Structure 1
Amino acid sequence: MPVAGRTAAPAPTAAAHAVPPTAREIPTPPADFDALRRQDPELAGVLLAELDRQSGCLQLIAGENFTSPAVLAALGSPLANKYAEGYPGHRHHAGCELVDLAERLAVERATALFGAEHANVQPYSGSSAVLAAYAALLVPGDTVLATALTHGGHLTHGSRSNFSGRWFRFIGYGVRPDNGLIDYDQVRDLAREHRPKAIVCGSIAYPRHPDYAAFREIADEVDAYLIADAAHTLGLVAGGAAPSPVPYADVVCATTHKTLRGPRGGLILCGEHLAQRVDRAVFPFSQGGPHMHAVAAKAAAFGEAATPAFAAYARQVVANAGLLAEALAAGGLALLTGGTDTHLVTAEVSPLGMTGVQARGRCAAAGIVLDKYAPPYAARGPQECSGIRLGTAAITTQGMGETEMPQVAGLIARALREERGTAAAVADLVRRFPPYPAR
């Protein structure tokens, strides 16, 4: 599809429409894993060890998932060889007819999947997508209202160690101390006081659905752009298990991994009236040539996310998180916001007499991989903290369901108590749910 603000792309060449060769005619890619093992056994050993680690542990990091073999195949494809600066039909290098088709496919699938007028599939990461959104809508020195870093905001929401905090004036809003929910009255008051150029809604640790309509109303009142940072939840949106920010936000930024289960990368969705500004903010302003193997892998992931099977997966992710949260609370952890609407679970471990760092270490020793977390209003700072953050996207991809969630919570409780035999019990569970079953 043509990019807004540009002339229509020239028709693909005949080669682009050629019938694909049969499997027998396709040459074997020169870089395969067997070749790597022969050529560089040391590096191959690292990759095999990482596969073994991922397969042998409970993967509960909220921002991680297991991509499909199709996505992995695209990532390892010959598209990794192609330089393709620019956009389909407007590249700076020759020989882009076929990668143009891959990118158009990714764009068409993304816009159809999320009901957006325009999609840019080139961002290298979620942070790159946010950078481009800011570059498209703001100038240095503009005021931005976003989730406070101490209340679950991302580094791109104003950290002084990040471009966002150095280029723009960020004002942070937070959650209520009594229930941990976003304080929309505070958001409105701060917006009226500071008249931001943009309002950002989204968090790396908020387990409830944002009220996008309320954010839109506040943004309209102060004539601000609304940017939705949906990095964690866009996969749930794709599967119909979370409300969509697309009808409300001027620009939606996201990652294509996490709950979307695609390759590591970023995505931007927007209306047609902002398409040209967003595209120019990605290239040439903030990035060079796109990683075309990743773009193809995004296309594969968008195709998968449009299926009934993915919708069932997204619903199961949310159901699993709710059951896991309930079981963790029964085991003595204090749930932030009292539960979850998404894949995320955040909880205080201080009632058990330990810090988040200690909890993470004890779980790691038992083969349970999760993150420490500093809850809002907590006495401990982010280095030690008093909470943990975990998610159910990866273990749901492995096939775990309602039956396994109490078991997972029980294993976490055992790990926190440092019970002997916990690591073996973890290994027994994950052995039944390999992320990549042998075919």
Structure 2
Amino acid sequence: MHDAHIARLVRAEARRQRETLNLIASENFVSRDVLAALGSPFTNKYAEGYPGARYYGGNCYADELERLCQRRALRLFGLREEEWGVNVQPYSGSPANLAVYLALVPRGGKIMGMRLDMGGHLTHGHHVSATGKFWTPVHYGVKKGTERLCYKTIARLAAEEKPKLIVTGYTAYPRRINFQKFRAIADSVGALLLVDMSHIAGLVAAGVHPSPFPFADVVTTTTHKTLRGPRAALIFAKKELLPKINKAVFPGLQGGPHLNQIAAVAVALHEAGQASFRAYGRRVVRNAAALAAALQKEGWRIVTGGTDTHLLLVDVAARGISGKTAETRLERCGIVANKNTIPYDSRAPADPSGIRMGTASLTTRGMGVREMRTIA
């Protein structure tokens, strides 16, 4: 690289990643093949539109690439092309969710999702997000005491509010989700069911978490967390809903797709279909459980009492430390995690009561249960 300044920053970041223990639940390490695709000549090409219907010439290989990525995405999750379609163009998870709402919920319509401070995401209708400004948010939370979803409470709220769309799938909820119960709740009020599986997509692909596809109308996911791909997103939808969603992605929200990004996603989807990835998924979950148990043994309170997934929440305020302080002190020791609210948090989001940890990255680096106990 001729740009010495950028080259120095790239080397410094690579060194930082090598020399620290990354417990950020939403991060991972991609393969050399994914990086090669991301930096490929597809970076140079404009391809507004969809395969066979582009607004630029020279897209024969772009069409082949996008169709291949679509087939790999459907195959990975065991979906039949007669029933499901997938849009592989979203730049990231937030615009993917926004596209779904734009396509399927009238302006001002009700979207029901998890509260941000209890594990939901900004794009599930939080007031600072466009999703909470253009649509009417209805929020549910978790039960006090258990810190888990209460499906009866959620069903009562849905019956009262009658949302057009219900969102499940979270950013800081460490337990398995009963998608069948959410399907029943959605059907009881005539709502569509959107599952945002961004955090658990790799676990679903590996067969260590129940699949949402038998119950959802639409499934969105990022590709850079447990799926171990580049920063991008996918929107899976029942065939009858896909045309509206495609129009919402392009031309509704985005211009030309990032073909290099789609190429890298295709590589990651292929990797996730291998037996080695299924073994990886099992290790991720095993490591998270081991880390939670070891921290409990050291006297730390784990939100919900443990984890079924790749992530866990630690209530550091229970021992007189704020989340921000814990994050800062850990990073000084070479351990990278993020401050995070916990259910019914009495502290401000900028300095909450908890920290969130995840095991996907360290598992990619080959670490196991023994290392998790050492880290704790």
Please indicate, yes or no, whether the TM-score normalized by the shorter chain is above 0.5: yes
Give matches, 1:154-303, under 5 Å.
154-303=121-270
CA offset at residue 271 of structure 1? 1.2
Indicate which of 128, 138, 141 corresponds to 2:108. Answer: 141
> 1:393 and 2:360 equivalent?
yes
In 2: Cα distance, 1:307 partner to 1:149 partner: 34
CA offset at residue 363 of structure 1? 0.1
Which residue of 1 is the match for residue 342 of structure 2?
A: 375
Which amino acid in 1 is paired with 2:49? G
- C-alpha contact (below 8 Å) 1:115/1:246 kept by paired residues: no
Indicate which of 1, 4, 8 corresponds to 1:45. Answer: 8
Which residue of 1 is the match for residue 29 of structure 2?
A: 66
Indicate which of 45, 56, 75 corresponds to 1:82. Answer: 45
> 1:318 and 2:288 equivalent?
no
Superposed CA deviations along residues 67-114 of structure 1, whole A, max 9, x for unmatched, are 000000000000000000111111110000011111111000000111
In 2: Cα distance, 1:166 partner to 1:50 partner: 36
In 1: Cα distance, 2:311 partner to 2:20 partner: 19
- C-alpha contact (below 8 Å) 1:241/1:315 kept by paired residues: yes
> 1:305 and 2:268 equivalent?
no
- C-alpha contact (below 8 Å) 2:117/2:341 kept by paired residues: yes
Instruction: Describe the SS at the equivalent of 1:258.
Output: coil
Superposed CA deviations along residues 287-306 of structure 1, whole A, max 9, x for unmatched, are 11000000000000000000
Aligned residues: 372
In 1: Cα distance, 2:31 partner to 2:95 partner: 24
In 2: Cα distance, 1:252 partner to 1:269 partner: 5
CA offset at residue 175 of structure 1? 0.3
In 2: Cα distance, 1:77 partner to 1:284 partner: 25
Identify unmatched segments of 5+ residues in structure 2: none
Which amino acid in 2 is paired with 1:396? T
Which residue of 2 is the match for residue 128 of structure 1?
A: 95
CA RMSD of aligned residues (A): 0.8
Going from structure 1 to structure 2, the CA distance change for 1:278 and 1:115 (only over 3 Å counts) comes to farther
- C-alpha contact (below 8 Å) 1:129/1:267 kept by paired residues: yes
Which residue of 1 is the match for residue 69 of structure 2?
A: 106
CA offset at residue 115 of structure 1? 2.5
**Identity across the alignment (%):** 49
Which amino acid in 1 is paired with 2:64? L
Identify unmatched segments of 5+ residues in structure 1: 1-35, 410-439
- Could you tell me the TM-score, scaled by structure 1's length? 0.84
Give matches, 1:304-383, under 5 Å.
304-383=271-350
Give matches, 1:407-426, under 5 Å.
407-409=374-376
- C-alpha contact (below 8 Å) 2:339/2:352 kept by paired residues: yes
Bigger mean CA deviation after superposition, 297-306 or 350-359:
350-359
- C-alpha contact (below 8 Å) 1:332/1:351 kept by paired residues: no
The structure that has the greater radius of gyration is 1
In 2: Cα distance, 1:109 partner to 1:84 partner: 20
Which amino acid in 1 is paired with 2:223? T
Superposed CA deviations along residues 172-215 of structure 1, whole A, max 9, x for unmatched, are 10101111111211110110001100000011100011110000
In 1: Cα distance, 2:117 partner to 2:293 partner: 25
Which amino acid in 2 is paired with 1:51? A
- C-alpha contact (below 8 Å) 1:85/1:93 kept by paired residues: yes
Which amino acid in 2 is paired with 1:394? S
- C-alpha contact (below 8 Å) 1:143/1:197 kept by paired residues: yes
Which amino acid in 1 is paired with 2:92? S
- C-alpha contact (below 8 Å) 2:313/2:354 kept by paired residues: yes
Instruction: Describe the SS at the equivalent of 2:234.
Output: strand
CA offset at residue 352 of structure 1? 2.2
- Could you tell me the TM-score, scaled by structure 2's length? 0.98
Instruction: Describe the SS at the equivalent of 1:207.
Output: coil
Instruction: Describe the SS at the equivalent of 1:267.
Output: strand
In 2: Cα distance, 1:254 partner to 1:309 partner: 21
CA offset at residue 333 of structure 1? 1.1
Instruction: Describe the SS at the equivalent of 1:260.
Output: coil
In 2: Cα distance, 1:93 partner to 1:324 partner: 51
Instruction: Describe the SS at the equivalent of 2:241.
Output: helix
Instruction: Describe the SS at the equivalent of 2:252.
Output: helix
In 2: Cα distance, 1:197 partner to 1:321 partner: 35
Greater relative CO (CA pairs within 8 A, separation 6+):
2
CA offset at residue 378 of structure 1? 2.2
Instruction: Describe the SS at the equivalent of 1:130.
Output: helix
In 2: Cα distance, 1:261 partner to 1:125 partner: 14
